[in-house]
């Protein structure tokens, strides 16, 4: 298991140092919606394993965020699921009626969500005004009081109330989730 350099300071405000515009837009959105958050800064985390230290510090269960597409690359999906849960393409494909799902390439992440691999986040949907990406949420995610996610970069992590994500942020960015059950039968 890899460890990361982690600033143990927890912040409840936007960063005061220079950040990428896509990260700054996240804080602009959260402030405009009056959504409280707790933030921790760290070096890049590209895997769920690297996020375990962040998970402990923020007292959250990190969501696994997968950016998927169909074989024709005409349908795109952002799947939020518990980090410890196994992803079974067959189960999801059957539920959403889209065969041959695979991971979408980084060019599609950037095109539709303005994010890069390792930084996939529900907050990236704010960069999808044309709703090209369908949000899929495993029902187990909404059982948690809080959600952990990146602010469109993987050098910070946020703790948000699940209810704020579902009831405030998603309606404001015009994305309605579709709930799935990824429990294997």
In a domain, 154, yes or no: yes
**174-177 LR contacts (CB < 8 Å, sep 24+):** 174/129, 174/131, 175/125, 175/128, 175/131, 175/133, 175/135, 176/135, 177/135, 177/136, 177/137
pLDDT of residue 184: 66
CA atoms of 82 and 59, how far apart (whole Å):
14
Residue 74 makes CB contacts below 8 A (sequence gap 6+) with none
In a domain, 6, yes or no: no
Nearest CA among 120, 99, 160 for reference residue 22: 120
| pTM above threshold 0.75 | yes
| Average pLDDT by stretches of 10, the chain with 185 residues | 71 94 97 97 76 85 90 95 88 90 96 93 96 97 93 94 97 97 77
127: alpha, beta or left? (left if phi > 0; alpha if psi -120 to 50): alpha
Residue 165 lies in a domain: yes
Number of other residues whose CB lies within 10 A of the CB of residue 161: 17
Position of tokens 């890069």?
116
CATH of the domain at 67: 3.90.960.10
* pLDDT tens readout for residues 89-109: 889 999 999 988 999 999 999
pLDDT tens-digit series, residues 79-88: 999 888 888 8
What pLDDT, on a 0 to 100 scale, did the predictor assign at position 47? 67
Q: Are 68 and 79 in contact (CB under 8 A)?
A: yes
Measured between alpha carbons, how far is 18 from 126 in angstroms, rounded to an integer? 21
Domain count, the chain: 1
Quote the domain boundaries for residue 175. 21-180
Residue 1 domain-assigned? no
pLDDT, position 109: 96
**pLDDT value of position 48:** 65
Position 157 in a domain: yes
């Amino acid at each position: 298991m890899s460890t990361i350099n982690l600033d143990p300071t927890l912040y409840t405000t936007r960063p005061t140092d220079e950040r990428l515009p896509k990260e700054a837009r996240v804080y602009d959105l959260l402030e405009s919606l009056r959504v409280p958050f707790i933030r921790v800064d760290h070096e890049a985390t590209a895997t769920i394993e690297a996020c375990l230290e962040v998970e402990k510090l923020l007292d959250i269960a990190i969501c696994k965020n997968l950016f998927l597409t169909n074989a024709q690359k005409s349908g795109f999906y952002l799947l939020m699921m518990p980090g410890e849960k196994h992803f079974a393409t067959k189960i999801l494909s059957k539920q959403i009626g889209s065969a041959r799902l695979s991971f979408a390439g980084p060019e599609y992440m950037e095109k539709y969500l303005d994010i890069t691999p390792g930084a996939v986040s529900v907050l990236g949907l704010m960069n999808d005004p044309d709703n090209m990406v369908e949000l899929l949420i495993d029902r187990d995610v909404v059982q948690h009081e809080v959600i952990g996610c990146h602010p469109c970069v993987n050098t910070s992590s946020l703790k948000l109330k699940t209810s704020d994500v579902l009831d405030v942020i998603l309606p404001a960015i015009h994305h309605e989730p579709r709930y799935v059950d990824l429990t294997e039968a």
